[in-house]
Structure 1
Amino acid sequence: MPIAFTRFHDLVQNEILDLMECYALFNFSETSKRSRSLSQRPAKLHKGNMEIMFGVLRETSSSFPSLKLAYSSTSHSAHEFPTSLFLEFKDSKFEHLEEYLSVRHSSLFVNMTISMVFYCDPPFETAFVTLEHLAELGYPIEECDIRCDPDNEAIVRTLMILNKAKILYLNCKPTEDFKNNFDFKTPFTGSLENEKLVLFPYSEWVSAWHVINVFNRCREITLFDSYFKESEVIEILRSWKIGSSIRHLKLSFVRAGSNEDFGAKMIEINAEPVPEAVNEDPNIPVPPVSPSWLLRQENTNVEVLISIVQPGHNGRKWFFTMKEESKLASEENVPV
């Protein structure tokens, strides 16, 4: 004979709720105001991540889009979803996606995150429809990894759709003729706000304009295989001094002259050279020190350390790194 849940002793109720899987607890919380109240405490125990994996499954004569959901818990031993839960694509969207993701959207489960891995094979439209659908639902996205074949429009659309993802990895190469046949500026209608943005391994389409106007609200940016001019690097730093959220920037550039020439340009923008280490003992070899400077933003207390280093295999290309300097503790707070 069924027994009403509320007739159990409080200790028994708590034990049952604590053992409930995430989705079961969410369904229980939706049944009544009383059940939602009872779910508040055990819901805080759930910590984990919902991973959304998009791809194209291929069979002998056909292929079809696939969306796999998986919940991994760091607080409960049981997995919420089956090892492989595939949603069916119908009417330009995956069925029941909102139902499964509503768990994370609930204010009950504040310690759960969403990450996405997209393998976007041609045609790309299904992938973008799914991305746009997720963005419209407003779910906070912890991490997203996008991989696709060369496609200029795919690069722009992905960055704009996922402009608020906390961490975004984009592995998408531009077409070989992008410099002459594609406008990589006009389609960007706003700034990205990613905490971490990594373009790997293709970012040759990125210019100083993008760093200044599109990436300026990101905090950490890594641009692999980039080819900035030295003048563009100085332009980026001049703009950063006036105002930018960037605190860590990695790129590569082609230097125009010598170390002294580059150093003179850094001094022009009021960057302070960092003294090289002094070798007090001539018998102890000191490794070569990369040229470095300190640069401070005008309207904040933020100070960054800028370094350049030349890789051994390329005589003209240099690696550029800018990272925020940690504040030193004041002398009065230093233990004696």
Structure 2
Amino acid sequence: MPVAFTRFPDLVKKEILDLMNCYDLFSFSETSKRSRSLSQRSAKLHKGNMEMMFGVLTEASLRFPYLKLTYSSTSHSTHELPTSLYLKFKDSKFEHLEKYLSVCHSSLFVNMTISMVFYCAPPFETAFLTLEHLAQLGYAMEECDIQSAPDNEAIVRTLMILKKAKNLYLNCEPTEDFKDSFDFKTPFTGSLENEKLLILSSKWVSAWYVINVFNMCCEITLFDSHFEESEVIKILKSWRIGSSIKYLRLAFVPAGSNEDFGAKMLEINAKPVPEAVNEDPNIPIPPVRSSWLLQQENTNVQVLISIEQPQHNREKMFFTMKKETKLLLEDNIPV
């Protein structure tokens, strides 16, 4: 004869609830107010991360998109191995996705975080339908890792859909003819709001994007970038007027000598400093040709700007701009 769960001794109930994975515990907590109350202690034991991964399975020449949800616990002894679920794609969305994502955003599971790993592969449309659906649900996205084959539209759609993701890592190259065949500017109607933005193939990025699209991001790293020196100065002039960027890393082609670049920095009121500040003595500083301190207008925000020439490429310079927390004494600034 079935026995009501609430009639078990308290110790037995605690043991059963502690053995439940986060999905089952959440489902139990939704059955009644009393169930939710009973679940609170066990839910606090769940400290870990929920990861979503999009992929495409191939069976008998047919391709099936899937979404894998994995919960990894860092503290719950009964869940040393990750707990995974595979959701089916039906009617342009994955079934029961809202239900499982609600686990992370339930007040019960206060110690869980959520991240996304999206490996985009054909058909791209399925992947973007999923991304758009997640964005419409309004769930916070901690970390998104987007990878795909060369595709110009995929780059734009990904950045726009995930413009509020906390950390966004984009690994998608443009097509070889992107300069003549695709308009990267028109689709962007607003600024991204990522705390950290890393683009592994940035050859399509120009100063316009840094000023108008990336200006509300905090940390920006642009690998494989191809900026002109004039674009770097343009970015700095715009930053002085107003920008949320606290860190920027890119590569550019110098137009002249180091002295010529220094003269342009003086024109925008950037003060030269002896060398880059390194607060960690255990981390060596690479050779830096020159450094400057630049302050934003109407604020006390300062950034340290450094340029260095990589040993493997004498035609480019690495440019780094990072927020300076310590104000350098004027006595240490050469006139």
**Alignment correspondent of 2:56:** 56
Deviates more, 1:175-184 or 1:11-20: 11-20
Q: Cα distance 1:58–1:181, how it changes in 2: closer, same or farther (>3 A)?
A: same
Q: Check whether the contact 1:52–1:67 (CA below 8 A) recurs between aligned residues.
A: yes
Q: Check whether the contact 1:113–1:140 (CA below 8 A) recurs between aligned residues.
A: no
Aligned-partner residue type, residue 147 of structure 1: Q
How far is 1:59 from its partner?
A: 2.9
1:228 aligns with 2:198: no
TM-score between both structures, scaled by the size of structure 2: 0.88
How far is 1:206 from its partner?
A: 0.6
Q: Cα distance 1:328–1:33, how it changes in 2: closer, same or farther (>3 A)?
A: farther
Q: Cα distance 1:276–1:214, how it changes in 2: closer, same or farther (>3 A)?
A: closer
Aligned-partner residue type, residue 158 of structure 2: T
**Alignment correspondent of 1:309:** 308
**Alignment correspondent of 2:47:** 47
**Structure 1 residues 67-78: aligned runs within 5 Å:** 67-78=67-78
How far is 1:161 from its partner?
A: 0.5
The CA deviation string for residues 86-137 of structure 1, in whole angstroms up to 9 with x for no partner, is 2221221222222222211322223222212222122210110111111111
Q: Check whether the contact 2:222–2:250 (CA below 8 A) recurs between aligned residues.
A: yes
- Structure 2 Cα separation of the partners of residues 161 and 148 of structure 1: 15
Q: Cα distance 1:82–1:49, how it changes in 2: closer, same or farther (>3 A)?
A: closer
Q: Check whether the contact 2:295–2:303 (CA below 8 A) recurs between aligned residues.
A: yes
Deviates more, 1:220-229 or 1:112-121: 112-121
Deviates more, 1:207-216 or 1:38-47: 38-47
**Alignment correspondent of 2:218:** 219
Deviates more, 1:97-106 or 1:37-46: 37-46
Aligned-partner residue type, residue 97 of structure 2: L
Corresponding residue SS for 2:56: strand
Corresponding residue SS for 2:312: coil
- Structure 2 Cα separation of the partners of residues 45 and 84 of structure 1: 18
Corresponding residue SS for 1:305: strand
- Structure 2 Cα separation of the partners of residues 24 and 83 of structure 1: 11
**Alignment correspondent of 1:333:** none
How far is 1:75 from its partner?
A: 2.0
Q: Check whether the contact 1:71–1:79 (CA below 8 A) recurs between aligned residues.
A: no
How far is 1:205 from its partner?
A: 0.7
1:210 aligns with 2:209: yes
- Structure 1 Cα separation of the partners of residues 258 and 30 of structure 2: 65
Aligned-partner residue type, residue 261 of structure 1: D
The CA deviation string for residues 114-171 of structure 1, in whole angstroms up to 9 with x for no partner, is 2122221222101101111111111111111111111111100000111111111111
How far is 1:185 from its partner?
A: 0.8
- Structure 2 Cα separation of the partners of residues 223 and 106 of structure 1: 36
Aligned-partner residue type, residue 258 of structure 1: S
Aligned-partner residue type, residue 128 of structure 1: F
* Alpha-carbon RMSD: 2.5
Q: Check whether the contact 2:72–2:83 (CA below 8 A) recurs between aligned residues.
A: no
Aligned length: 321
- Structure 1 Cα separation of the partners of residues 133 and 81 of structure 2: 21
Q: Which runs of 4+ in 1 moved over 6 A?
A: none
How far is 1:287 from its partner?
A: 8.3
**Alignment correspondent of 1:319:** 318
How far is 1:82 from its partner?
A: 6.9
Deviates more, 1:2-11 or 1:213-222: 2-11
**Alignment correspondent of 1:92:** 92
1:118 aligns with 2:118: yes
Q: Check whether the contact 2:288–2:306 (CA below 8 A) recurs between aligned residues.
A: no
How far is 1:326 from its partner?
A: 2.3
Q: Check whether the contact 1:21–1:80 (CA below 8 A) recurs between aligned residues.
A: no
1:251 aligns with 2:256: no
Q: Check whether the contact 1:229–1:253 (CA below 8 A) recurs between aligned residues.
A: yes
How far is 1:9 from its partner?
A: 5.5
The share of aligned pairs that are identical, in percent, is 79
Deviates more, 1:50-59 or 1:206-215: 50-59
Corresponding residue SS for 1:88: strand
Aligned-partner residue type, residue 312 of structure 1: Q
- Structure 2 Cα separation of the partners of residues 290 and 209 of structure 1: 26
Q: Check whether the contact 2:48–2:73 (CA below 8 A) recurs between aligned residues.
A: yes
**Structure 1 residues 1-336: aligned runs within 5 Å:** 1-7=1-7, 13-14=13-14, 16-79=16-79, 84-200=84-200, 202-276=201-275, 288-327=287-326
Aligned-partner residue type, residue 239 of structure 2: W
Q: 5+ unaligned residues in a row in structure 2: which ranges?
A: 277-284, 329-335
Q: Cα distance 1:306–1:32, how it changes in 2: closer, same or farther (>3 A)?
A: same
Q: Check whether the contact 1:5–1:13 (CA below 8 A) recurs between aligned residues.
A: yes
